[in-house]
Amino acid sequence: MDIRLGNGFDVHAFGVGDHVTLCGVQVPHSHGLVGHSDADVGMHTVTDAIYGALAQGDIGQHFPPSDPQWKGAESHIFLRHAVNLARDMGFTLSNVDCTLICEFPKVGPHAASMRDAMAKIMGMDPDRVSVKATTSEKLGFTGRGEGIACIATAALVKP
């Protein structure tokens, strides 16, 4: 049996907007997130965790921000690509753990919807997808409310 773990990390700064998209869910907020695509920091991080487990680079190698076709793209495109690549390589996603790091918006009220959205995109049961949040105790750029960071781990299995 081949068991692989991958991790991902991403950050996006706050900018103009009235919501943030986190793990596929639009969360009302006083700001948006700035990025080349839709800036879904949660989905980007999980995508990178899958690529990492496969030793297949990162999201920027598969979807370069210098390529205008990805401007404003929805992040489910990237996540589906990583999931399909894992399946093409003979792997099954066992579970995903995603931690959003921010002082606001509050993630808790939206976590179940985020789990469901991510699970649907990845073709997994929601009980194999964890989405949670923590603050940075008002330290660093997330603590000052300048943006959101995220870390994620993905476990892949090949019989």
Alpha-helical regions (H) of 5-97: 41-54, 59-62, 76-88
> Which tokens hold the place of 78?
């990237």
CB 159 within 8 A of CB 1: yes
For residues 142 and 47, what is the distance between their CA atoms, to the nearest angstrom?
Answer: 21
Task: Encode the chain (159 residues) as per-residue pLDDT tens digits.
Answer: 999 999 999 999 999 999 999 999 999 999 999 998 999 999 999 999 999 999 999 999 999 988 989 988 999 999 999 999 999 999 999 999 999 999 999 999 999 999 999 999 999 999 999 999 999 999 999 999 999 999 999 999 998
pLDDT the model gives residue 72: 87
CB 96 within 8 A of CB 158: no
pLDDT the model gives residue 65: 87
pLDDT the model gives residue 49: 98
> Which tokens hold the place of 121?
């995109």
pLDDT the model gives residue 128: 98
pLDDT the model gives residue 55: 98
pLDDT the model gives residue 43: 98
Query: What predicted TM-score, i.e. pTM, was given to this entire model?
Result: 0.96
Domains (range + CATH), the chain: 2-158 (3.30.1330.50)
Instruction: Pick the closest to residue 49 from 95, 18, 13 (CA basis).
Output: 95
For residues 28 and 158, what is the distance between their CA atoms, to the nearest angstrom?
Answer: 39
